[in-house]
Structures are given as C-alpha cells and as structure tokens.
Structure 1
C-alpha cells in the first residue's frame, strides 16, 4: 500500500513539474512575440538641433528691449511640432512657429525678446520649449549685464 501511495505521489509531482515548464515556455514565447511587435512599431521622433542654445546680449542699459533669433533644424525622423515655449519670467518672451510642422531636415526660428526694465545687474534667463521630441522639453538660455538707470542712493552723482 505504501508503494502504491508513493508511486502515485511521484507521478503527480512529475506531471505538475512538466506543466510548469510548458507554462513557462508559453509565457516566454508570448513575451518574445510582444517584444517583436513593439520593435516593429518603434516610434520615430523629431530632434531639435539648435545652432546655439545660449546667447549673451553683453552689457545693455536698464529699460532696453533686446531680441535674439535662435535657429534650429529638425534632425530627427518625424515632423516637429512645438506646443509651447515659455520664459522663466515675464521679462523674457519667446515667439515660435505655432501650429506648424517642421519636417525632418527643415529649419525653424524662435525669437526671444528680453525687457530689461527693472532688471539691473547680471541677468540669466531660460526659455523652456515643449515639443514632440523624445525628451519632450528643450531649454534655451539668454544672459545680459544690465546697467542700472539710477545710481544707488547715497553714492556720489557725477
């Protein structure tokens, strides 16, 4: 009786082990098929390649409004669409091609205006661009040294 019970137990254990192997092989096969489908549908993205990502206006006077045109090329494999561009403060205003697709290999421009009124001394501002690139955001920077309008109180006037 013990032999029959042990034999049945051994047969049952072997059958469960073989089922686990078959299930594991089936799951691995499904994973491989899913990965192959995803690879075949690999998404292509545009890329923004700027001629320069930082511009220095040098020394300007407080109250001056200066602007610079940043030029970029879509070096990716899909049309580029800029959905937003925003300066780090209200004194920095970007203008960009809205509702336009920039095709691979084509160039585009973004104009950035900086109003130095009320911004004396060294200034560093950034422009955050939201687009359909793989990263999703790009950053430009501008800087300037702004000579103050009025000399500081208590300093001698010449």
Structure 2
C-alpha cells in the first residue's frame, strides 16, 4: 500500500514539474534589449555564380531592437575587393538602418566568402554579415570574339 501511495505521489509531482517548465514562447519582435541592439533580417547573402569582373552589391537591413539609439562607428571588410556603405545617423529604438556591401570580382575566381564586421555601440558587441559568390572565369574559347571562332 505504501508503495502505491509513493508511486501516485511521484507521478503527481513529476507531472507538476513538467507543466511548470512549459512557458509560452516570447515572440522575437517583443524582446527588447536594455541598451542598443542590432538585429539583421538576413546575415548572409549568396549571389550564386557570377562572371569574373562583375560588380555586385547587396543591402543588409537591420533593426535596433534595443531601448537606446544604435550608432554604427565602422564597418570592416576582409579585402579591398569589398566596399561598404552604412547608416551614419543614430538609429532610434524600433527603427531600421542598413549596411550595403559591394563586391568587385575582378581578378577573383572560385568560391568567395566575404565577411563584413559591423562595429557599433550594441550591447552584444560587433555583428557580422557575409556575402558569398562563385566567380566563374571565362574560358579561352568563350572569351574570343565570334568571328575568331569561325576560322
């Protein structure tokens, strides 16, 4: 009989503990950081295949999900083939800004993964976004004019 009472008590306690740990998920848009916070809509953009010499660009949009103004102080790139532009004015809480990346594929070939580091006053520190592409080098046959192929 004692065993039955302990078993029932254990089951009841186990169910209570399990129910206590399930909480309703908090929507990401409702989370507010104390201080400035940068949240990118997308942290990676893949251009797919491009031809050597093509110049491509992409704008990464972000939102300040904190409760204080966000200020980007600098945007760093991994090589001179990538140029950037960004929101220069402070971004108020709940408002959006941008980081634009421009990649010049001249003299590049194969897979490229360019990391852009966004330095700001965000409480979480620096943020990173990336552009990815595969640079296709034209072959000799495709680089010649059409008339030269006929001879």
* Alignment TM-score > 0.5, same fold: yes
1:110 pairs, out of 89, 94, 99, with 99
Cα distance between partner residues in 2 of 1:72 and 1:103: 12
Asked whether the equivalents of residues 88 and 125 of structure 1 are also in contact (C-alpha less than 8 Å), the reply is yes
Unaligned runs of 5+ in 1: 1-42, 152-157
State the structure with more CA Rg.
Answer: 1
Aligned-residue RMSD, C-alpha: 1.6
Residues 2-58 of structure 1 show CA distances to partners (whole Å, capped at 9, x for unaligned) of xxxxxxxxxxxxxxxxxxxxxxxxxxxxxxxxxxxxxxxxx9421111110000000
Deviation at 1:94, TM superposition (A): 1.3
2:85 pairs, out of 73, 84, 95, with 95
Runs of 4+ in 1 over 4 A off after TM superposition: none
Counterpart position of 1:141:
130
Cα distance between partner residues in 2 of 1:85 and 1:92: 11
Asked whether the equivalents of residues 69 and 109 of structure 1 are also in contact (C-alpha less than 8 Å), the reply is yes
Deviation at 1:80, TM superposition (A): 0.3
TM-score (ref. length: structure 1): 0.65
> Secondary structure in 2 aligned to 1:71?
strand
Cα distance between partner residues in 1 of 2:63 and 2:34: 16
Counterpart position of 1:53:
43
Cα distance between partner residues in 2 of 1:92 and 1:69: 13
Unaligned runs of 5+ in 2: 1-32, 141-148
Residues 109-144 of structure 1 show CA distances to partners (whole Å, capped at 9, x for unaligned) of 111100001110111010011000113200001100
TM-score (ref. length: structure 2): 0.68
